[in-house]
Amino acid sequence: MDLLLDDAQLAHRILDHIDHASTDLGHESWREPVENYRSPARLLHELHQAFWRTPTAFCPSAALAKPGAYLARAAAGTPIVAARGTDGKVRAFRNACRHRGTAVARGTGTAASLVCPYHGWAYALDGTLAHVPHEHGFPGLDKSTHGLVPLPTSEHGGIIFVTQDPTADAAAPPAALPTLLPPDLRLISIDEQETAANWKIAAESFLEGYHIRSTHRETFYPVQYDNLNVIEFFGRNSRITFPYRNIEKLRAQPASARRVAGTLTHVYHLFPNVMIATFPNRTIMVVLEPGGVASTNYVTYTLAHATAAQTDLARDADFVTEGAREDRAVVESIQRGLGSGANEHFEFGRFESAIVHLHRNLHALIADRSMR
C-alpha cells in the first residue's frame, strides 16, 4: 500500500472491525531464527545495510528549530552532530575534530561555531574549519580540506534524516513519507534509557496490538481494544493504528465528516529503528539505537503543541511512561529467554504483519549485500 488511509476511510475500517470483532490480517506468517537476535555478525550486517546505507531518522526538526542549534549523539555506533546553519539548512557531520578526533559537540545547545574542547579548533556550522589556534605550528595545513566530515542529510516531514555511508543512494527520505511532525510542535524533552535487549525485540513491541490486554491490562487496555489494529505500509515503513474506545462517538457523524483526532494512537515505523507515536496531547519519536546484540538505547524525543495545558501533558506523560515501562519489562524478559534454548525460531502470525514487514525488508537488504 503506497497511500495511507484518510480519516473517513480509517474510521470506517475501525468501526467495521469493532462490529465484526476482527482486525487487519497479513498475508503470511513469519519464522525468524532466534540466532538472528544473538549473532554479532548478523548485527553488523544490519548496521551496514539498514542503518548506515539508508536515510535514517536522526532527530525531529524541532530539536534544531533555530539557526545555531545543534544536537550530538551516537547513531548506530557513530558519533554524529547535526546543526542548523545561518542559512537555515541542517547539516550532519561525523562528530570528530580533524586534529585529534575529539568530539566537537556534546548534547544539545546553540552556538555560533563548534569548537573542539581539546585544542580549540573551531568549525563553522557548515563544517568548514574556521580557526586553528597558533596555526603557524601546522605548516602546510590546508584548512579547506580539514573541515568536519559531512554526512548526506535531508529534512522532510518534520524529521532530520542522515545517511552514514556516502556511497549509498541517499538522495531521498523514505518513500511517500507524510508530514509526521508538523511545524507547530515544540520539543519538550529528550530522554535516553538503556534496555538489555536486542534492538529488533524492542522494535517488535511497538508493532502489534495482540498484546494489549495481556501486557497493558491497567494502562492501555481500558482505553484501547485488544488485537484491533489497522496496518498500512509505505515503502519499507509502516503505520499501525491503535483505536480508542471513544471512537464509537464517530458513529453519530456522517462518514465523510469523521475526524479521528483524539480517538486513536498512530505508531509510524520508519525503517529500520524509529517509532513515532501520536497521543492526544503529545507526540513521541523513539530512536532504538543498538548498543550490541543484547543492548538498546531508547532515545525519546517528546513534542507537543505550544498551547497544550500542563495538566494534559502530565496526564499523557504518566499514561505513556507506564505503558512503556510494561513493554520494556517484556522486552527484557524475551532477551533473557533467548538463552533458554526453548526456541529456534520466533513465530509471527497474521496479526503481526508490521513485524513481518520489518524482517522481510531486513532480510532483503542483507541478501542484496551478500550477492554483490
CATH number, domain with residue 350: 3.90.380.10
Q: Are 276 and 134 part of one and the same domain?
A: no
pLDDT at position 307: 79
DSSP states along 164-209: S-TTS--SS-STT----S-TTEEEEEEEEEEESS-HHHHHHTTS-S
pLDDT at position 310: 77
- Measure the CA–CA gap between 232 and 22, rounded to whole angstroms: 16
Q: Are 34 and 98 part of one and the same domain?
A: no
Q: Give the domain extent around 271.
A: 7-53+183-371
Q: Are 230 and 208 in contact (CB under 8 A)?
A: no
Q: Are 250 and 357 part of one and the same domain?
A: yes
Give the mean pLDDT per block of 10 residues along the chain (372 residues): 85 98 97 97 96 95 98 97 98 98 98 98 98 97 97 94 82 68 95 97 98 96 97 95 98 96 97 96 96 97 86 78 94 96 96 98 85 47
Number of domains comprising the chain: 2
Q: Are 235 and 299 part of one and the same domain?
A: yes
pLDDT at position 90: 98
pLDDT at position 55: 93
pLDDT at position 314: 73
Q: Are 295 and 353 part of one and the same domain?
A: yes
Q: Are 45 and 148 part of one and the same domain?
A: no
pLDDT at position 1: 42
Cell 513465530 belongs to residue: 347
The strands making up 274-278's β-sheet, listed across from edge to edge, are 185-195, 295-305, 283-292, 274-278, 264-270, 237-243, 230-234
170 found inside a domain: no
256 found inside a domain: yes
Q: Are 334 and 197 in contact (CB under 8 A)?
A: yes
Q: Are 156 and 218 part of one and the same domain?
A: no
Q: Are 351 and 227 part of one and the same domain?
A: yes
152 found inside a domain: yes
The pTM (predicted TM-score) of the whole model is: 0.95
pLDDT at position 370: 54
- Measure the CA–CA gap between 248 and 225, rounded to whole angstroms: 12
Partner residues linked to 305 by β-bridges: 185
